[in-house]
Amino acid sequence: MTFAGAGLDRAAGERGRPEWVRARREEPEARALLLSERGVWMEDGRLLLVRPDDGAVFLGLASGVPVFAAHLGDEAPAHGTPAGLREAATELPADDAALAAYAASLLGWHRRHRFCANCGQPTEPRDAGHERYCPACGTHHFPRTDPVVIVRVTDGLRLLLGRKAAWPERRYSVLAGYVEPGEALEDAVRREIREEAGVEVLSTSYLASQPWPFPSSLMLGFHAHAAGGEPRPNDVELADVRWFEAAEVEAAAAESGEVFLPPPFTIARRLIDGWLATAAQASGRPG
Ligand SMILES: [Zn+2]
């Protein structure tokens, strides 16, 4: 899954000791990837890697090599080219894309949490960049990950897809929404599908997840079977929602149909492609 599996040893037991982090930073092989307002910096189809400076956060050890990340703000390095994360996801090898997503989520959190949410005073980084601490009131702040359920709803033969008003014309995808306080994931699945599409679901099952660094979500992929209700866009977010036959989705996947699907690096597309493969198997056609 794109953006997942950075495959690092995050060294959570050691990174809290500043002298240990300093020693890793000073290792000759230590490297830092760079982000700026313009995106993640690349060179020759890989991440641009430089010596880590004092402000870099520690990501982990890649086969023993210390990997850091730094944010340049509106500055630019001496070489390389910047790319947005969506573009980087399609151009970088999977392990580089995963590192870029991890770094973007962590560094973005630092940039948005420079002041204490409890007392308003400046906070300072701790734990090699995996915590911020407020010296004024003693509050510890930790990086956020926001859970989002993304749901493949089927009635057995058809797939439920919706189109957000803000999306390009004819782009359809599976439905998704943030988990709210006090909800189990299954509750969030039922509520989202009822709210957005007016469809009741039962027998939800978990399939897979994808870190989604825009800025720091975790997409939790579910399959759900529709129990009733005719789809109609209840939510102001959705311009349309309806059932799609397998043939219609297949044509869209082959980019020869009336509608467009999300790009291949997204969990949304993986859920849709997985359903197509099952539908093809059920009908005896090659998937
Ligand atoms: Zn405070």
Encode pLDDT of 162-206 as tens digits. Answer: 999 999 989 999 999 999 999 999 999 999 999 999 999 988 999
- pLDDT in the model for residue 237: 85
> What is the total residue count of the chain?
287
Mapped onto helix, strand or coil, the DSSP state of residue 45 is coil
- pLDDT in the model for residue 281: 81
The CA 105 to ligand 1 mean position distance, Å, reads 22
Q: What is the pLDDT of residues 44-85, one digit of tens each?
A: 999 999 999 999 999 999 999 999 999 999 999 999 999 999
Percent of the chain with pLDDT over 90: 89
pLDDT band per the 50, 70, 90 thresholds, residue 160: very high
Q: Which residues surround ligand 1, an ion (CB under 5 A)?
A: 116, 118-119, 121, 134, 136-137, 139
The CA 160 to ligand 1 mean position distance, Å, reads 46
Residue 287 has pLDDT above 80, yes or no: no
- pLDDT in the model for residue 286: 60
The CA 133 to ligand 1 mean position distance, Å, reads 8
pLDDT band per the 50, 70, 90 thresholds, residue 33: very high
Percent of the chain with pLDDT over 70: 99
Strands (DSSP E) along the chain, which ranges? 31-36, 39-43, 46-47, 49-50, 57-62, 65-71, 81-83, 124-126, 131-133, 140-141, 146-154, 158-164, 175-178, 200-212, 217-228, 238-245
pTM listed for this prediction: 0.92
- pLDDT in the model for residue 285: 67
**Bridge partner residues of 211 (DSSP):** 218
- From the number of C-beta atoms within 10 Å of its C-beta (0-12, 13-18, 19+), residue 96 rates as buried
What are the tokens at 165? 């008003």
- Name the nearest CA neighbour of 263 among 108, 21, 143, 86: 86
The CA 171 to ligand 1 mean position distance, Å, reads 44
- From CA 46, how far away is CA 43, in angstroms rounded? 5
């962590």: which residue's tokens? 106
The CA 135 to ligand 1 mean position distance, Å, reads 7
